[in-house]
Amino acid sequence: MGNISGMIKNGPFRNRSPIVLASGSPRRRELLSDLGLTFDVHPSRLEEPAPEAGETPAAYVLRMAELKTLDVATRFRGATILGADTAVVLGERIMGKPQSKLDALDMLTTLSGATHQVVTGFCVVLPDGKILSESVSTDVDMRLSTEGELMSYIETGEPMDKAGAYAIQGIGTFLVTAIRGSYTNVVGLPLARVLEMLLDRGVVVPEG
């Protein structure tokens, strides 16, 4: 199981056992790499089902994270598997990745001038098979943007593979006026909470 993260960096932590990231997100890869961790990347190949009737956004992303992580865990015994799923939520509307430029414009117009939540569910399967999972929510305030501004942003191409049609760590930072909660959660992984869980279980230790 060779390292294919492609971003091995010096950092303040190291892992004591193999870690597999059950996600193809380059943003999640970078967040883990910044800690100094080494890991393999093996995204789940499962199709993501739609939310069930009455299912809350937090319950949905947690279910998706567990579904994908457990799928990958069946192929890598003895490793720590980490998976996650992130949704942009306004009220009870879950916004996934836009299917077209018009879909992206609809999402961004709906979010413009409003406060929404970014909810990430993450799941950790430990080498002994124990399953740990949580969801984390961050409030995000968006500036009131004109249609022309939003279309100019959409034409950059950045929104097309992002939940909610924006990237807080990219060009889309101009849309955001304030956040309350974990910044990395908006990027795609509540890093401080994930790290705390891995430290508590001895999967990760300080480099020093």
Q: Which two three-digit tokens encode residue 91?
A: 């009220």
What's the half-sphere exposure (Cβ side, CA atoms, 13 Å) at 182? Answer: 18
Interior/surface letters 94-116, b for 16+ CB within 10 angstroms, e for the rest: bbbebeeeebbbebbebbbeeeb
Residue 145 neighbours by CB distance under 10 Å: 18
Q: Which of 19, 9, 8, 69 is nearest to 204 (CA)?
A: 19
Catalytic residues: 85
Where on the phi/psi map is residue 88: left (φ > 0), alpha (ψ -120 to 50), or beta? Answer: beta
3-state secondary structure of 8: coil
Q: What are phi and psi of 127, to 5 degrees?
A: -55, -30
